[in-house]
Amino acid sequence: MTTVQVWAGVDARGIASLNVMSDSRISWEDPRRSGQGQRPQYLYDQGKKIFHCRNYPHIFAYCGDSLFAALALSQLSDQIDSGIVSPRQGGQWGDVVHQALDNLFEGYPTQVLGPSVTMLHLSRSGDRMEAKFHLESYTYRNRYDSEQPRRGRWIRHAYDLADVMEGSRTSKVIEVAGSGSPHLREIQASRGLDSTARDTSRLIFANFIAWLDQANGPESPDPRSGGAPQMCRLIRIGNPRPVGLVYNRRKHFGGASIPKPTDTLEVSWHNKHFEIVDPRTRRKKARAQTHSDLKGMAPG
């Protein structure tokens, strides 16, 4: 399956960023043993689960069934970038995305769809001090029955970020979804409460890494999640900013391992403490801020 986390980064003026992280594992069960509650039989740990537009401030992520989600979000982000889909004057992006998912789902065989799939849409209207961030989800619960086939429908939910933040002036997790969400919520609610990093984006990020370390371990609470982390951000200006991550001493981008040295101005690279690193050496840059308050913390 998948585990995905969305949080708001906050400064003195309000929400300064909307961030999404995910694992990179795609898993399959042996169909000959279906329904027996077994651990997944087959794993692939370089699955792209976060998609972003290059020309517009839109990010998409998913949890649940991976095949349709990966196909649909790749199509949708390309269509937005090409100007093929956009709101009519006075319209809402949520309506556009909802309709696009309906169109892309047309003809998809529900027989091969998993129990459910959820798409998350992060976006921004305006910029700088006029920036307003948005988060919506679209969930499809499969109702397929071989004896009585029937199609379900996409359920749309718009998050009221002002209500969720409750006037908070600290960074806050907005949504955690997917198979590993119960354990990740526990870690986010308990780890680092006595740290000076409490209520910061870097602690929320580090807690996700702590959860992922456990998911990748021999006694994983969720063997359907794992692999490397992937991340993308929206800030008050510009378009989405994908993040390169150094995890277990290897560079990863979009969940994929990057074996060769690389250095590009388009991507910011970070380590497990959310410190900025040089991708060629994988070490913290000399002038980058040190997050010493995250070092030495209990694993989770």
Strand partners, 3: 178
Strand, helix or coil at 104?
helix
In tens, the pLDDT along 82-139 reads 999 888 876 789 999 999 999 999 888 888 888 889 999 999 999 998 999 999 999 9
> What domains does the chain contain, in order, with CATH numbers?
3-294 (3.60.20.10)
Q: How far is CA 19 from CA 61, 103, 125, 176, in A?
A: 11, 27, 15, 12
Strand, helix or coil at 3?
strand
Contacts of 202 (CB under 8 A, 6+ apart): 273, 274, 291, 294
Relative to beta strand 132-141, strand 154-158 is: antiparallel
Question: Which parts of the chain sit beneath pLDDT 70?
Answer: 1, 30-38, 90, 144-152, 263, 265, 296, 298-300
CA distance 297 to 196: 11
**Contact, 18 vs 124, CB < 8 A?**
yes
